Structure 1
Amino acid sequence: MSIANQKGGVGKTTTAVNLGAALAAMGQRVCLIDLDSQRNLSHTVEVDGHGNRSIADLIYNHVSGIDYDPEQWLLHNEREHLDYVQASTMLATAPSILATSDNSSLVLSEILHSPVFAGYDYILIDCRPALDLLAVNALAASDAVVIPVEPESYAVDGLADLFASIERTRKTVNPQLRVNGILVTRADSRRKLTHQMITDLREVFGTQVYNTVIPYLADAAKAASEQHSAVTINGSRLGNAYLELAKEVVAR
């Protein structure tokens, strides 16, 4: 599953980490892929002592025909009960590297469909805020997309380009790709605009919008700074919201 939106600051990484932790808490075997050179996901879940191998190295090795064992790139976070592949700043050059491949849209798909990744129930890909070749690779490798959006006035219009990219990917390289759901994030229930925009999103996208709404809470920043998910905080409203979201994701 790709966690995707070309707009930054909508809660993609928060969703990837907390949805992953919530799915793991439900007994699912989960792997997170950090596909953003800013490394926010990696910073949140990384464990001291882990090596320097990143998804950028996997992409480079695959495109260059260098032998590699993907299992050596898998890291484990015991607290969250999940595995992850970290990012590096070298991901910024990944689109240029991918462009040299004959199957430039399918490199990540070929990597993630290796036997090493077959045992996971969910692989969540935290995409960077762009609709470039790296994003196309994420969509091509995915069965479904989770789309976080903020309840702001531009939210509906801003989804048009992403839906167009999803449709192009479906038509060209991945006919199985579908939208699992649109997730309203960072929702401040005290604002009248928040309620209006959620209503607008539901009118336009119907049941594609999850019933779960992620509230705007300090828990997100606190948990990230302390390098864990909100799901691990007892009584966290944010953590509980992502546990409810995980149920919806599984049901879909």
Structure 2
Amino acid sequence: MMTDRSEPDAGARGVKPRILVLANQKGGVGKTTTAINLGTALAAIGEKVLIVDLDPQGNASTGLGIDRKSREVSTYHVLAGEASIAESITETVVPGLYVAPSTLDLLGIELEIANERDRAHRLRIAIQGLMAEKVIDPFTYVLIDCPPSLNLLTINALTAADAVLVPLQCEFFALEGLSQLLKTVEQVRSALNPELTIHGVVLTMFDPRNNLSGQVVADVREFMGDKVYETMIPRNVRVSEAPSHGKPVLLYDIKCTGSQAYLRLASEIIQRERSLRAA
């Protein structure tokens, strides 16, 4: 569970974490991999990060070494109103990185809360409760990993978030999937969360030897402009291997191209945050 450090409390510092949701209704785009490794990279450069695993498959939790048997309190219990998010938070092997783990129980949560008036706001309420607690050394970033579908879990994440980070695979149908997601974001902004913005699009599984990858990069940059991060995540076997060892790639092989790309992405996100605050 969470551990405190001897720093001023959250109330005294007035710290509000930036809440970023990693969303794409298409599977296999590197969404969970990005959540794990971006969270690790942010923690490595001094941020305190919470990953909220909202995918019933629980791959973000597994990829951070959280055994399924130890997930006694999960995001299912949080959304069902049976536990606070603080009760679910578990330490990872990465200093400064924590996870609210997921279990397969989440598969049934949509039916359980479908008739509740606050069904789309359950996660936002839970995170607000966490921020209201007097916690030493509060979180500076909350990353929410969504399932690869636009269901009530994803709507909860979008309603709770400040901004959306979109992992986009360098493949033929990338822009089609992006257009669908942008429509959903606009709908959530109109009906549930008027402050929601697109933080950025991160291009994943980039292969410089593949002409199609280069064309997709050009098309996405033309469509989304400066919303596309400069950093691209390359295809890298070490990134693919790391989850089977229950480790982020930065712990598995810090020197590989994938690890270095995620460190650059973390730095770029922090730089973008500074620019937003200064604007």
Common topology (TM > 0.5): yes
Match of 1:135, as an amino acid?
T
Aligned to 1:239: 259
Contact 1:151 1:184 in 2 (8 A): yes
Deviates more, 1:10-19 or 1:91-100: 91-100
Aligned to 2:184: 165
Aligned to 2:168: 149
What does 1:213-228 align with in structure 2 at a 5 Å threshold? Answer: 213-228=232-247
User: Structure 1: 5+ residue runs without aligned partners?
Assistant: none
Q: Is 1:50–2:65 an aligned residue pair?
A: no
If the length of structure 1 is used for normalisation, what is the TM-score? 0.93
Contact 1:80 1:229 in 2 (8 A): no
Q: How much has 1:116 moved relative to structure 2?
A: 5.2
CA-to-partner distance for each residue in 1:9-47, whole Å, 9 max, x for gaps? 000010000000000011101001111111111111134
CA-to-partner distance for each residue in 1:168-202, whole Å, 9 max, x for gaps? 11111111111110010011111011111100110
Q: CA RMSD in A?
A: 1.5
Contact 1:34 1:125 in 2 (8 A): yes
User: Structure 2: 5+ residue runs without aligned partners?
Assistant: 1-19, 273-279
Match of 2:190, as an amino acid?
K
What does 1:50-199 align with in structure 2 at a 5 Å threshold? Answer: 50-60=70-80, 62=81, 66=82, 68-115=83-130, 119-199=138-218
Runs of 4+ in structure 1 off by over 6 angstroms are none
Q: Is 1:30–2:49 an aligned residue pair?
A: yes
CA-to-partner distance for each residue in 1:83-125, whole Å, 9 max, x for gaps? 1011000111122223121122111110111135872111101
What does 1:198-213 align with in structure 2 at a 5 Å threshold? Answer: 198-213=217-232
Match of 1:12, as an amino acid?
K
Deviates more, 1:226-235 or 1:40-49: 40-49
Aligned to 1:40: 59
Q: How many residues are aligned here?
A: 247
Match of 1:205, as an amino acid?
M
Equivalents in 2 of 1:16, 1:189: separation in Å? 23
Q: 1:198 to 1:20 in 2, by over 3 A?
A: same
